[in-house]
Amino acid sequence: MSDYTYTLLNDEATITGYTGPGGELMIPETLDSYPVKHIGAFALAFKTTIISVSIPNCVVSIGDGAFAECTRMTSFSTGDGVVTIGNFALHGASSLSLMVLGTGVASIGYLAFDGINPLATVELHMLAQPEIIGG
């Protein structure tokens, strides 16, 4: 049994929720043999038991508020496949100390990183300057 809930569209999974214990999360590449392509809006928001998140290369988008208010999360990294990071995606991740963004990021939403730890180390491995929407 998976700790994730998801929806399917064109045989691609979008994570819509998380029911696991938290800790160090490695987002799965597949759910029931369907490739995970998206992390939906607010899918893991307010999960204060999450300490770190690692997103594989197969994921292409992180939805609005997907990890909002994950206040105990200290590290966050994306694979090179992530192209879009939604509005308020990590809003309020106040304990974040390390964020690594892969080479594929082309669009970062409005206030995507608002309220993260101001002393966080941010590593950008992006190949091109992303479009940043708003703050």
At residue 21's C-alpha, the angle toward residues 86 and 9, to 5°, is 45
What domain range includes position 110? 4-132
Q: What's this model's pTM, rounded to 2 decimal places?
A: 0.91
pLDDT at 125: 79
* Tens digits of residue pLDDT in 16-27: 999 999 999 999
- Cα–Cα dist 45/61, whole Å: 15
Per the structure, the count of domains in the chain is: 1
* Tens digits of residue pLDDT in 35-70: 999 999 999 999 999 999 999 999 999 999 999 999
DSSP element (H, E) containing 76 = strand 75-78
CATH code of the domain containing 74: 3.80.10.10
